[in-house]
Amino acid sequence: MSIVATPSVDPRYSSVIKGTALVAEGGGQRGIFTAGVLDSWLDVNFNPFEILIGTSAGAQNLSSYVTKQAGFAHKSIMELSQDKHFFNLKRSFIGGHTVDLDWFFNQVKQSKYQLNVKAGINAIQDRDLLFTTTNVTDYKAHFFRPNNDNWLTLLKASSALPFLYKKGVNIAGDYHVDGGLSAPLPVEEAYNRGAKKIVVIRTIPEGSQAMTPWLHRLRSWLRSRKQCVKAVNYYVHHENVYRRSLRFIENPPEDVEIIQIFPKVNLASKLIGSSDLELEHDYLAGKDVGRQLLSMGQLDFLAHQMPCTNVVSSTHWQTKSLQQAS
């Protein structure tokens, strides 16, 4: 895989540009592609975004980005999500969590993997950082701003796959699960909060199946557990929300400009259970993409003061296959 030389970046992009937003989609271990993109931007101190909204793995990636901990998300995915303590289907048969987020975020509190929440709080004084969750009672999307006390709790809730992490995460008396269920692509939320120039980092190619991949996998697991009724409710709700998000992106208001960053083909990594080789391949692909975006000036529109008019563009990036890369 070719790696583009690290570009120099206009100092304007190191501080907040009003009306800009970054939206990070989830995708489980596929989020390592997003980690690569954001780490390449951290290398040159590129972060002009006033609003940042992350869903599930996207929320974890944005945490690494705003705390300026390049490599944090990469290490979390490569090591923690690969550990046998994190994912174990057998635990569900004895009343445990299939995906043990308690163990995962206990590790994030340790020095080796620790998220620098204090640095994050300082970094978002002039930005709006939001993590998405879904209330299990009414399926409504919630957008929480993290603080010193709840940052890891919100990350856990945003990543809590229904059924695989039992009831979800208790926030102020209500249980919340994965934000991808009700806010898989919260671009409209960014617009409603004042964003006029929006960058969206995706983890699946354009034109892929309408629903996000984790729901396919979840549905197959639940069929074997005879929990289809609620799974179908989740499925229908998610599909409706996802299609609405795509309609907004494809036909946005006249005063917003949206750029989507897609991998051109399916990433090598999966929702979970990826090999180290697959994960490293996609991380390096993400770093390559991030550098190319900057060196080719495709993010310069963020600093333009001219009014934009109903523009949507999709940036596709072809990377070498895993066989070629190795």
What are residue 314's DSSP bridge partners? 260
Residue carrying the six token digits 């190619």: 205
Phi, psi of 17 (to 5 degrees): -110, 120
Chunked mean pLDDT (size 10), the chain, 326 residues:
55 88 94 96 95 96 96 93 81 67 89 90 96 93 96 96 84 94 94 96 76 56 55 74 90 92 88 92 94 91 65 49 41
Q: Quick one: pLDDT at residue 320?
A: 45
Catalytic residue chosen out of the listed positions 39, 100, 128, 178: 178
- What is the pLDDT, as a whole number, of residue 309? 47
Those residues with Cβ within 8 angstroms of residue 222's Cβ, 6 or more apart along the chain or in another chain: 163, 228, 231
* pTM as predicted: 0.87
**pLDDT for 310:** 47
Q: By the 8 A CB rule, do 154 and 76 touch?
A: no
- In this predicted structure, what is the pLDDT of residue 287? 94
Contact partners, residue 315, CB within 8 Å, separation at least 6: 259, 260, 261, 262, 293, 298
Check if 100 is active-site: no
List the one residue out of 63, 21, 58 whose CA is nearest residue 189. 21
**Beta carbons of 69 and 115 less than 8 angstroms apart:** yes
As a whole number of angstroms, the distance between CA 183 and CA 17 comes to 25
Of 40, 56, 64, 269, which one is the catalytic site residue?
56
What is the per-residue pLDDT for 208? 65
Q: Round to whole Å and give the CA distance between 11 and 14.
A: 5
**Rounded Cα–Cα distance for residues 31 and 63 (Å):** 13
Query: Is 56 part of the annotated catalytic residue set?
Result: yes
